[in-house]
Amino acid sequence: MKIALAQLNFHIGNFAENTNKIIDYIHQGILEKADLVVFPELAVCGYPPRDFLEFDDFISRCDEALQEIASHCQGIAAIVGSPSFNPDLKGKDLFNSAVFMTDGKIQSLRHKTLLPNYDIFDEYRYFEPNKEFNIIEYKGQRIALTICEDLWDIQDDPMYTINPMDELMSFNPDLMINIAASPFHRHQARIRQQIMLDNVTRYNLPLFYVNHVGAQTELIFDGGSMVLSPDGFIAGQLSFFKEDFQIFELENVINCKESLSVQLRNPDEAVYEALVSGIRNYFEKLGFGKAILGLSGGIDSAIVMVLAAEAIGPENVLGVLMPSQFSSDHSVNDALKLAEIIGCPAKVIPIEEAYHSFDSLLKPHFENLPFSIAEENIQARIRAVILMGLSNKFGHILLNTSNKSEAAVGYGTLYGDMCGGLSVIGDLYKVEVYELARFINRNMEIIPDNIITKPPSAELRPDQKDSDSLPDYEILDKVLFQYIENRKGPRELAEMGFEKTMVDRILKLVNTSEYKRYQTPPILRVSSKAFGMGRRMPIVAKYLS
């Protein structure tokens, strides 16, 4: 039997495009004499559809799309992910389903058993878990068909009380097929590969695994679909970060005795490709063509400009330099040099005059109090007004340039440098920003060296440095990582050797800044615990604040 994996980029709620894409690849499978074409989880509607699933019309359109797709399955079978109605009055109204179709019609459905409800996942909000198990028989083969999480509860500390493959093994399947929507983070490809290897080792069956590719707002899908032999060899690997379609002969997979030379990407390369994919898909799927960003001469805005230029073309990325009386000449020169190297247009709009106007306006109301953060934030908000003015006038989308370290401790101005339509590097700690800059410059100087080597500064007061307000990023980021990603508390951090007073101060900054993060743009997710939908914290809590 020849099995094709169709690793595709779907658009949430774009039923016409998604349906046509699926049909096109079914016909491609027919041309290449495949017996079965397998598509990812919730392919018909895109993943994650979230509260669209609460609309009967949305589900009806999924069903109409499935009927249209099935009509093209003549002489070939397909497995397509889609929500489906639960006919039982008890329980949730929907299943997360894998739809098996051939001979021009839907033959059967298999439902997802394990519904993740952690981090970015919220599936139990919408779906009823499967409680009945059976295999699919096709072309003399018995297929154990599962959906994403169904294969992940195989580790030493199981999250669920049931293992779908253990149940399906009683039917003596010949192979496993898993359709998935597995979002990217910098270590996910390695973890995913190990999970799949653990499954073939445990069940001694070949495994065909297909994943989404592309981005849906903050979530990025890296593809990396794979085929594994019963002996744990990688018989096939689809591309990362791009659509792919490959056909595999089942017998060859079963008899595979040597893994392909599969190299997992360098983490910096993977993050670079993920962020480019995230920007590109955000613009393409929303119909935007041009981006704008504040170009400060610092490393954060430099990285964002490089990524955006790669994603949508340098001619479509406008950098705006807005020097104040506190800006250094080298910052302006560095920013202009960067724009010239990349080929992006740039404008220089000084803000000193606007700042003095605001200072004059507010002076009688500031009651002769000394210069403080209030005056610093006015500068940041003036810059935001300029950027949003240009955005509104010319239809550019403002890219936010804050990093994760700043977002964590609230080192940013609400309605100032924290505004934008998309946060590009808000899931990269400052030290990771520097690592990415060195990756970008690995072959030639794209980001001017002075941008990378000079001490970071907001340049909102004379001779300002980030280190005036924050611990060194090398230390700060280690504490933040342990607290945010690894959920270590203050006692555990102290036991790890971090100074208690500093830890208490950092954690207080993180927790009292939650109200700021609540109002930030969507952040492209590249870590296992990003700010946004995957990290839900109360704003008015007392804990550690």
Residues 106-150 have pLDDT tens digits of 999 999 999 999 999 999 999 999 999 999 999 999 999 999 999
Structure-token match 């403080």, residue found: 372
530 exposed, middle or buried (CB, 10 Å; 0-12, 13-18, 19+)? buried
In a domain, 415, yes or no: yes
Task: Specify whether 187 is located in the same domain as 298.
Answer: no
In a domain, 398, yes or no: yes
529 in active site: no
∠ CA(281), CA(212), CA(180), 5° rounding? Answer: 150
335 and 419 co-located in one domain: yes
Q: Give the bridge partners for 83, in sequence order.
A: 96
- Establish if 278 belongs to a structural domain: no
pLDDT in tens, 48-76: 999 999 999 999 999 999 999 999 999 99
Annotated catalytic, 344?
Answer: no
CB 387 within 8 A of CB 477: no
pLDDT exceeds cutoff 80 at 356: yes
Say yes or no: 180 and 311 in one domain: no
In the block, residue with structure tokens 């799949």:
196
Q: What's the pLDDT at 459? A: 64
Residue 263 has pLDDT above 80, yes or no: no
pLDDT band at 458 (very low <50, low <70, confident <90, very high): low
The whole-angstrom separation of Cα 279 and Cα 312 is 8
Tokens of 526: 């590249």
Q: Please tell me whether residues 257 and 363 are part of one structural domain.
A: no
Contact predicate 220/526, CB 8 Å = yes
Catalytic residue among 45, 73, 148, 256: 148
Q: 430 catalytic, yes or no?
A: no
Say if residue 192 is in the same domain as residue 307: no
Q: Which domain holds residue 438?
A: 284-465
Whole-angstrom CA distances from 358 to 175, 179, 353, 379 are: 70, 57, 9, 9
Q: Are 79 and 66 in contact (CB under 8 A)?
A: no
Amino acid at 115: L
Are 178 and 117 in a shared domain? yes
pLDDT value, residue 31: 97
Same domain, 305 and 368: yes
Residue 449 is part of a domain; what is its CATH number? 3.40.50.620
Looking at 465, 495, 512, which one is the last position of a domain?
465
- Look up tokens 């929507």; give the residue: 181
The reported pLDDT for the residue numbered 66 is 98
- Structural domain includes residue 483: no
Q: Is residue 247 part of a domain?
A: yes
- Mark which of 444, 465, 486 sits at the end of a domain: 465
Domain of 84, CATH number, reads 3.60.110.10
Cα–Cα dist 230/283, whole Å: 42
Q: In terms of domains, do 259 and 294 share one?
A: no
Where residue 461 falls among pLDDT bands split at 50, 70, 90? low
Cα–Cα distance, 438 to 440 (Å, whole number): 5
Give residue 464's pLDDT.
67
Residues 289 and 240 in one domain: no
- For the cut 70, the answer to whether the pLDDT of residue 250 exceeds it is yes
Count of the separate structural domains present in the chain = 2
Q: In the listed set 411, 434, 465, which residue is the last one of a domain according to the structure?
A: 465
CA distances from 31 to 11, 74, 247 (A): 26, 12, 11
470: pLDDT confidence band, cut at 50, 70 and 90? confident
Average pLDDT over residues 523-544: 94
Share of the chain above pLDDT 90, in %: 91
Q: How far is 75 from 83, CA to CA, in rounded Å?
A: 25
In a domain, 526, yes or no: no
Q: What is the mean pLDDT of residues 181-197?
A: 96
**Which element (helix H / strand E) includes 4?**
strand 2-7
Residues 225 and 318 in one domain: no
The verdict on 257 and 352 lying in the same domain is: no
- What sections of 132-290 are H helices per DSSP? 164-168, 188-203, 250-254, 267-286
Which is the catalytic residue, given 41, 149, 310, 376? 41
Q: What is the pLDDT of residues 284-324, one digit of tens each?
A: 999 999 999 999 999 999 999 999 999 999 999 999 999 98
- The answer as to whether 523 is a domain residue is no
In a domain, 543, yes or no: no
Per-residue confidence band for 329, with pLDDT thresholds at 50, 70 and 90: confident
Q: Distances in Å between the alpha carbon of 186 and those of 241, 306, 442, 530?
A: 13, 19, 19, 12
CA gap 514, 509 in Å, rounded: 9
Give 78's strand partners: 37, 101
Phi first, then psi: give them for residue 126, nearest 5 degrees: -120, -35
Whether residues 195 and 294 share a domain: the answer is no
Please pick, among 2, 21, 112, 529, the residue that the annotation labels catalytic. 112
Which of 91-95, 329-333, 341-345, 357-361 is predicted with the least confidence, judged by mean pLDDT? 329-333
